[in-house]
Structure 1
Amino acid sequence: MALDKLGKELDALLGEGRVVRGNKIPESKRTPKEPLPYSAGDSIGNISARKVETASGAVLLHEELFPASHIHGEVPLDRFSSLEGLGNVLPTNAPPLPDLEKVIFLDTETTGISRKSMAFMVGIGRWVPEGGFRVAQLFLPAPPDEGALLETLNSECEGAMHLVTYNGKTFDMPLLEGRYTINGVTSPFKSMPHLDLLPLARRLWKRGAGSGKLQAMEAKVLSYHREGDIPGAEIPAEYARYLATGEAGRLPAVFTHNALDILSLGALLAAAAEVGREVTPRIKAEPVTREELIRAADAATDSYEKKKHLRKLAMVYKRAEEFDALLNVTAKMREEDRCDPWPVIEALKVLEHKAQDYLTGSEIAKEALELGFWHPDDREAIEKRLARLAKKAGE
């Protein structure tokens, strides 16, 4: 099914056009226009689940405990319990991970990839003190009960102090934060340190893996090859079909897909720690001058390191009031990461207050809003600057 057609069907099923962005969903709009054509049970096909009810509705929770002896690819789960050496391969300013019991591994399955999309499944992996890796999967049987999924997710995250995802900074977390805002539920992730494994995996293993995709890393690093896995691009259609018919279809395969993603997060983190234990930490002087920062940014193969050097360079130009150079650097940063609000905001400040180029500023703001997945606070900041720029430009 084409994504545009799927998106239209999901919009109709979810009634998303009735939601006012940034506001809590009114009670009158929490029910679909027509009754759902099925009754949600306590299982999805052959996947057993228990119903968790909150003031906002009900969500289904499937739990599975993988023993420490379980092997994922070539990685026994008991290796998850030791992250010694991980600090040797993390960026220098990355916060250290706490005790593993306080780390959560998160992955979502969503209705699509647009700004209107929602997560119909959220999987959480945690190491349990008695030994083993618990995977809890929250499934949304009825979209109007989305608040219940988020509230139950908060309960699952109690005591957590660090978040681990794969490409979560670009996709999963901006999407979830937006849904928290729409539903008027407080997010536990706003102030939680977040380690996105994608940049780290690219830096450590992309040359051999040939791709930064999770399944390529599974094959290269873990010697794990999925068999019969449902392609990610087909998952939204399975949920749409479930909403329309009430039939589980291939949703059990979606649960398996999500659980494998979470197991791979833990295994890759353990593998990264093993790499760290084999290297000697190197202490080197950070680039400081313009020339050093330019060379460091050009030489960086890791996206995180490149952005770090470019941001420092931008601040050098800002302090020197060399605004044309600052705009050039922020343009490079936007190309590197379209979901980083900092270079967008800095460029808009210069174009509004220094260059007084309101049209260019408006174009940059519009392009950013169109292309990026944004935390609601960042989107609001860009929208406010766009409104001022448009007014000054006479639009």
Structure 2
Amino acid sequence: MPLELVAFDIETTGFEVRDEVTVVGFAVPLGVRVFVQTDGRAAPDVEASVRDRVESHVEVSTHESERVLLEAVGAFAAERLVGSDVLLVAFNGELWRSGFDLPFLRTRLSQRDVEWPFREMPYADLFPVVTNRFNTTDEEGESRSDLAGVYETLCDGQYGDLDPFAESGEAVTAYEDGRFTDLVIHNIADVLRTRELGLLAERYCSKSDFKLKSLTPTRHA
């Protein structure tokens, strides 16, 4: 039986060590689970607002700080992901130019002294699978390597229409402005695009193309 593919993606306040995680999202077969931190700001009815605009089943929780968000992600992973037949995937989570999601997450977890959430599960980065095993050259002759571009080139594009942002950098401004609904929907679009690309790769690529690795740390606290 194939592993259950779970895609994840994070949003942040920037790229530096002191920047924070603002959103963590997971796309599972039955829907999307999203965690968003508000830095203590009021964010009423975010889940209801998101559900009004997203057709997929979505569960959203708001958290007052980055630490509380990271702890909630750990609890979710322990309940939903650890010990089950899950394949965690991200798009360039840890590869090209060192990737983004996993290195950033490790740094923020260590800064907040929160335990690593992803244990006893395999991980595969979709970036090399998709860009090396598919032709991602678009209609203008440009070889696409970004998530939105690769998805638009290879898939039907429905989740691209869902994304309220033209550029991923707009997520920083949205967080600063307190536009949490738009921020969450952007993350949902990204995890759904990532999962669609993972399912596409599963249909047309061999198991060896996925380069699975364990995310279990060598030492527990």
Q: TM-score under structure 2 normalisation?
A: 0.68
2:26 to 116, 119, 124: 124
Report the 3-state secondary structure (helix = DSSP H, G, I; strand = E; otherwise coil) of the residue aligned with 2:65.
helix
Structure 1: tracts of 5 or more residues without a match: 1-81, 84-97, 128-132, 243-247, 283-301, 305-376, 378-395
Please state if 1:216 is matched with 2:149: yes
1:112-157 per-position Cα deviation (integer Å, ceiling 9, x unaligned): 1222221101101222xxxxx2211101011772221111101211
1:258 to 148, 171, 187: 187
Partner of 2:170: 234
Write the mapping of 1:100-249 to structure 2, written as runs, cut at 5 A.
100=4, 103-127=5-29, 133-142=30-39, 145-158=65-78, 159-160=80-81, 161-169=86-94, 170-189=99-118, 192-209=121-138, 210-224=143-157, 226-227=160-161, 229-230=164-165, 231-242=167-178, 248=179
Partner of 2:200: 271
CA RMSD of aligned residues (A): 2.7
Conserved 8 A contact 1:206-1:212: no
Closer, same or farther in 2 for the Cα pair 1:112/1:206, shift >3 Å? farther
- Structure with higher RCO (Cα < 8 A, 6+ apart): 2
1:20-65 per-position Cα deviation (integer Å, ceiling 9, x unaligned): xxxxxxxxxxxxxxxxxxxxxxxxxxxxxxxxxxxxxxxxxxxxxx
Would you tell me which structure has more helix in proportion to its own residues? 1
Would you tell me which structure has more strand in proportion to its own residues? 2
Distance, in Å, in 2 between the alignment partners of 1:274 and 1:199 is 16
Distance, in Å, in 2 between the alignment partners of 1:206 and 1:214 is 14
Report the 3-state secondary structure (helix = DSSP H, G, I; strand = E; otherwise coil) of the residue aligned with 1:107.
strand
| AA matched with 1:189 | F
Of structures 1 and 2, the larger Rg is shown by 1
Distance, in Å, in 1 between the alignment partners of 2:10 and 2:35 is 10
Distance, in Å, in 1 between the alignment partners of 2:102 and 2:195 is 18
Q: TM-score under structure 1 normalisation?
A: 0.40
Structure 2: tracts of 5 or more residues without a match: 41-63, 212-217
Distance, in Å, in 1 between the alignment partners of 2:111 and 2:193 is 31
Give the ranges of 4+ consecutive aligned residues of structure 1 lying more than 3 Å apart after TM superposition: none
| AA matched with 1:142 | D
Identity of aligned residues (%): 23
Report the 3-state secondary structure (helix = DSSP H, G, I; strand = E; otherwise coil) of the residue aligned with 2:118.
coil
Conserved 8 A contact 1:118-1:176: no
Conserved 8 A contact 2:174-2:182: no
Q: What is the number of residues matched between the two proteins?
A: 172
